[in-house]
Amino acid sequence: MSTGTQVLDGVFAVNKPKGMTSAHVCDEIKHKLTASALFAPAVQSLRDRKDEYRRQGQKLTRKMRMSGSVKIGHGGTLDPMASGVISFGVGEGTKALNFLQKGAEKGYEAVVLFGAATDSFDAEGKVVGRKGWDGVTREAVEAKLEEFRGKVFQRPSVYSALSRGGVRMYEYAREGKEIPELEKREMFVTKLELVDWMEGGTHEWKWPDQEIENDRKEAFVKTLRFDEIGGVDVVKGSDQKGVAEEHPSQGKLKRKRGANGSSKDQDEVKKTKIDKSDEHTNTKTPTPVAELITGDAALQDSGPRPDAQVANAEEIGAIASLSKTTTVDDVNDGGPTGDSQSAAPETTALDAGPTQLPCPAPAARIRMVVSSGFYVRSLCHDLGVAAGSLAIMTSLKRTKQACFELDDNVLDYEDFDQDEAVWGQKVARELNAWPARFEALQARKEV
């Protein structure tokens, strides 16, 4: 796809805001490109060709029927709670996306919060167990990071799209069934460093308020290997029903959609221009399971994850006021609020608001460059265990995908809310730069 000397095939990257799915961002950009003056000649050429076929009485192929807009795809799913680099292939550039998904390094920045483990390994899940953090210091964590550099073997999250016996792992987790053993996979960590240490009570990060439901608790206690870890206070658990049920007419639970087909939270993101600092993870849309995965497994079909619940700030406040050595049994048993049967809850445990007291456990911001298919949530969990406690991921930002890096050659998503004069030249520049970048990537892989 080209017009004159202007190259309109290639790959460019965008900084995705938190709270939006990769597919939604792709749809928005596709609409902008198709309606732009930059791509107008190419789009018109496609339409003229279709009209000519019709005049000649020829049957349009499926490809031609779909060719009324710019051909675009994204190079790997980035989950809604995360922000950062996501690549988009245009025209012939879509053929290079598989290379970016599976054949290139990726960089991430994540915040690890110690003291608790959840069913999803992140702050959008439900707490399964807690453990003290007396020995968790900056020096201790930095020393433990060495164990995770170079060639490592990593066990995927139970909320992966991997299958066992023809059943997705997230289906076992969702239904509270005994979860099959997942084999560790070889990964490579090129770079891993601690860039910020936050003592307890000095940061904004918080444990989820909701505890796992009793009908799912036993399966996760076993899967998380609490017996091997030792010293874990397993939560009392919620009496609400956690196993998801199917509506007789709709099948599996689905999210509510807005008038334009996007999720309600995605509509809200566009209105509020989400804070780009990546310092919060307040996404109100229940995260699709496959988008919880930062590696290649995210490209597989997804299913629903356990519903997020309305936060119970009273219990979190009670937990936050405890000393490091206080056990869960000393916490007030106030149960979670909200309806566990709701198909599309409007708030999550991350939206409890400023009334919560600061979390007493420390947190660390880490940066990494890793091989494709790496599970950042699993690293956060494993680091917590290695440091003598437990841990969850509370923030995630992708900083690099192959040749695209933040603060270098990645466009801001907000640019596309401006006139084409703002983003058009940037897109054209990146597409023109792609051939040389792709050649360099291929040469590097062959070495």
**54-63 CB contacts, 8 Å cutoff, 24+ apart:** none
Report the C-alpha gap between 116 and 194 in whole angstroms: 20
Q: Which of 9, 79, 119, 278 is catalytic?
A: 79
The 3-state DSSP class for residue 398 equals: strand
Paired tokens of 409: 């050659």
56 vs 261: CA distance, rounded Å: 36
In the chain, the N- to C-terminal Cα span, in Å, equals: 31
Distance of CA 20 to the CA centre of its chain: 10
Neighbours of 355 (CB within 10 A): 10
Other C-beta atoms lying within 10 Å of the C-beta of residue 172: 19
Pairing of strands 411-412, 10-16: parallel
Cα torsion angle, 46, 47, 48, 52, sign: positive
Is-contact 198 363, C-beta < 8 A? Answer: yes
CA 419 to chain centroid, in Å, comes to 29
79 catalytic, yes or no? Answer: yes
Task: Look at residue 324 and give its three-state secondary structure.
Answer: coil
Pairing of strands 106-114, 391-401: antiparallel
Q: What are the DSSP E strand ranges found in 295-410? A: 363-370, 391-401, 404-405
Alpha-carbon gap, residue 405 to 387, rounded angstroms = 30
For the annotated catalytic residues, the residue numbers are: 79
